[in-house]
Each structure stands twice: as C-alpha cells, then as structure tokens.
Structure 1
C-alpha cells in the first residue's frame, strides 16, 4: 500500500511540473497592430505610382500644400517606396536614372499585352459575359464615390482566382467620366473590358493570367488626408468684373433646372446634356439636393474639364456653370 501511494504522488507531481512548463512556455496574447514595423518591407515592381484613388486624382493638378505631415498610409516601414503626401512613386524621384511617365506607360502596355494573349472570339466573349450576369452569379465589385481605389486592385485579383471575368458596378461621381474609369481599370489591373452597359462593366483577366503568380499589391491601411488644392470658385468669374459676377451668380440660381442628380446614380449622360443646354442658354443649373458637398464639387470639376465650361456657384446645393464669352456654337447644316 505505501508503494502505491508513493507512485500516485509521483505521478501527480510529474503532471503538475508538465502543466507548469507548458504554461510558462506559452507566450502572452498580443492583439495585432497595423503600426508594428515589419523586418522586411514589401517590394512591388508594378510600373505605376500608388495612389489612394486612380480615377479621382490627376497628375496634372499639383497641390499647393499638405494638411498634415507626410505619413505613409501603408504603415511605417511596410513598403519600399517613399510617400510624397499624394502618391508613392514607382521610381525614386531623387535618383538620377528616374524613369519617365512614357517609359512606365510602355512597360504597362507590354505587360498587359503579354497577359492578355490572343484576343477573344465573339463566342468566348458571349460565354464570359453571360456567366457574369446577375442570374448566374451575385459576386460583383462596387465602384463608388472614391472611384478606383488602391485596395480595389486586390479585390479584382481575388475575384479572378475563381473566375476568368468579374462584374464591376460603377455608381456616383466617377460615372461622369466613364472613359477614364475604363482606361484606369485596364491600365492598373492589366485586364480588358469585354462588356459595358451603362455603369455595369465586365473585366476579363486574360488568357495568360496565372492566379498563383499575382503581382505584389501592398494594402493601404487607411485613407490618407487629402492635400490642399487651389479653389474651384474665385472671387470673380474669368473675364468678368465683380458686378457682372454677382449678377451672373444671382441669375444662375433662377435659370430652369437642367436635371436633378440622384444619390449614387449613373451620370454618364451629364456631359452631353450640359453641352446641349448651352445651345439654349449661356447658364446651366444642375440640382444636387441630397448629395454631399464634396460629391457635387467633384462633379463640377469634371464638367469644367470635359464640357468645357466655367464654374459659377455651388450655393444652395446647385451646380451653376457658364459657357464663357468665347463659346463656339456648332456650325448649322446647309439646308
């Protein structure tokens, strides 16, 4: 009996020692943090500058200042590219052998041609488009007021893992310039748009696309603060004095409304509507009630470049644009 007790006590002591060892080895729990510095920063060889939005930002317009100090939205030490406050350039601008935009564009074109391979036949295109329609699949990517963002590139490649084409639904501000949306999608993802109906697009990945060998796209952890740009509306309208500016702004709010924009709607026909409106009157008013102020400011900026026209006012949730003094009327057809 004493031998059995000693064995039992030895077994219990051994179990306690083992459990204490296991508890000591187990590290304490640490929640994941996006601010932790990684040992090796990611290296991406994609031949374009990383921006928050590729459709809603322009390389031609330079900001006049920054609201906050330059802090990379990819996290500290996570990307081997310097953040300039607006973008993370593909080539360090300080280096002597900096590649020009034309060279980077040529690299993107050759890479896209290699991935696409031979063009699709009409039958293949029809099959892919039918597979992406709503009765067959519910998977789609929504492109909203921020346009084509950097993190959406990862979403596109994730969809291409399981299907050769993906459906993209465009809504809101970016749909004013659908040509630019289509160009940026093909340029940044190296895919091809094989179907377009209003704001609905079908993006094909290419014949030579390999899901296991996808490009390195570092995720953007937060939205960077927007820099300071020049004012859209100045004290006086271009070509007018102060009194004429006050009069034209007052008259612009009483002009009959051309159209009313719905929230998150499709605005692809807005530019031709404004051009037709200028044939009847020199001022055009667009009702934007219910839209955020930043949205109709972006719409006014796009109209200024696409129509082209001069922005008069954003008061009372209205966009008022003027065709200008040097507006050229279309030539009348001979009878």
Structure 2
C-alpha cells in the first residue's frame, strides 16, 4: 500500500521510457514530408515538399528537450526565407536544410551567390519578381540575375514570377547543377501579379508569355539549351500556348458580347477627346493606357469561358502536343512536360503531358 500510494501521489517512481530508436521512428512518422502537390493553382504550390502542419507536431516538439531536438532537425529540413534577415539563422543550421523557399526580395543583389552556401540543398524555389528594376533617372527597366550560383546537390529548381528570359536560369543550372531532375520556369503575368509595375509599363507586350506563334521553334531552342541536363525528368513552363488575342476575347466574353471579326485595343477603350470616330485602325493614346491596364488587370475569372474553349482549345492542345514531342526528342530523359493552362479557373492551372 505504501508503494502504491507513493506512486499515485506522485512519488519518485518514473514512468518507463521508450528506447531512442522508437522515439526516432515516431518522429520520422510525425514529420514525414509529402511530395509537391498540384493544386490546380500555381500560386498555392512550390516544387518543395510539404511539411506537416505545426498543430500536428507541436506536442512532440514540446514534450521534452530530447524530442524538441529530434523534431527541430526534421522541421527545418524544409525552410522558408521570408526576410533577408532570415539568412543568418539559416546559415547556422545549413547542415540540416534540404529544401529552401525564397520569397520575393530575400536574395539581395550583393548576395546573388548565397544559395551555394547550402551544401546539402536538394530543392529550391526562388521568387524572381525582382529580376527587373527601374533604372534611376529613366523609364527603362534593367534585368538582373536574382541568383547566380547553386550547389551541385540541387535536383529540383523552381523560379516564380520572372520577367527576364529563361536562358539565364538555364545557363546557371548547366554550370552548377548537372544532375538536375526537375525545372519549373514561372513567369510574372497579369493573373498572378496584377499590380506589377513592369506590365503597367508594357501593357501591349503580354505576348511574351501568351502566344501560339513559333511554339515548335521555341521547343527546339529550349531542348537544345537543356540538352546537357541528361537527368532532367520534368519541366514546367510559364507560357500559355494560345493566341495573344485571347486577352481581348476574354473581355468581350465576360461582357457577353460577340467578338468582332477584327479586334484591336481601341475597340475596348473610350475614345480620346476630339478623336476621329471614323478612324478604324487607331492605336490607344497615351491618355488611354491606364484604361487598358485596368481592363487587362481585372480580377481573373473563376469560371472557364466556354467561348474561349470552343474557339481556342483544339489549336492549343495540338500545339502543346507538338512542342512536347519535340522536347522529348531533344531530351530523352523527360517523363512529363507542363504548360500554363488558359482553360482553368483564374488561368492559373497547368496542363501536364506524360511523355
């Protein structure tokens, strides 16, 4: 009775402890990483693995100093850099980090080689929205490489919201990551960054990422540039293989108006004061550019436009298949190719082709 009462009243007897091997197995299970998920919206996903939610693991982390250490080592294996000040913390635990998500503005120009300091990195996602800067004292934009170096261990790379040509990223990969397996090349568009000052300055240049012209030639060129990457299994491209005029069709369709045989931006804008109403081929005036930007940057539709589907899908599908086949011919190791899919909610989905 004495021993029993001491135990019940919190005496010195300790509950049995689990062997370290069992605790490690539990931590491995709790902190299991999920592969990247394709959510149907490229803004809600990255190429990096998905960690469990904090609520699912915080009890284990807070149980004891020992479990906290085990959990911490696993938790920081996938890390998000949210501010440039976060790098100092990341450097101290760089031996634990396997995957990095770098948000916009976290890689400052003077530290473009910073990723090379993480010698165990296998996957990295970089928001490259700051790859263009307005040149001081002018209205010109200058391009820059957000990152200039990578550790050779990187197998999966994603670039988000880029304005500059993909060739700079590809050259960096070929120099530093010859064993790369996955490459996702994302562009800044009116759909994922509607307030972008770059596109506000170039409202007529969206054919940089929305076009069905020269798709096969693009695939040949891209395949040649990527040819040294003999381990490449997947590539996702930030291009919509649809006619650029789909932007104008989109506006007419959302207004439930028939699309005229010849469409120009002038038809979508209020005429400037004293304009010649009989002039059919006029271009938007400077005073109307803000109206054009407002039209283009309106909130994307959540519903798929049936008129756009009927008019453009067959041609888009055919062009994507042709370009995908060319990429497969140039890159035999490829297993799938992804293209931005206009025919998805908010225009932010991806269509994949197994090859």
TM-score, scaled to structure 2: 0.19
Q: Which has the higher helix share?
A: 2
Determine which structure has greater relative contact order: mean sequence separation of CA pairs < 8 Å that are 6+ residues apart, divided by chain length: 1
TM-score, scaled to structure 1: 0.20
Rg comparison, structure with higher value: 1
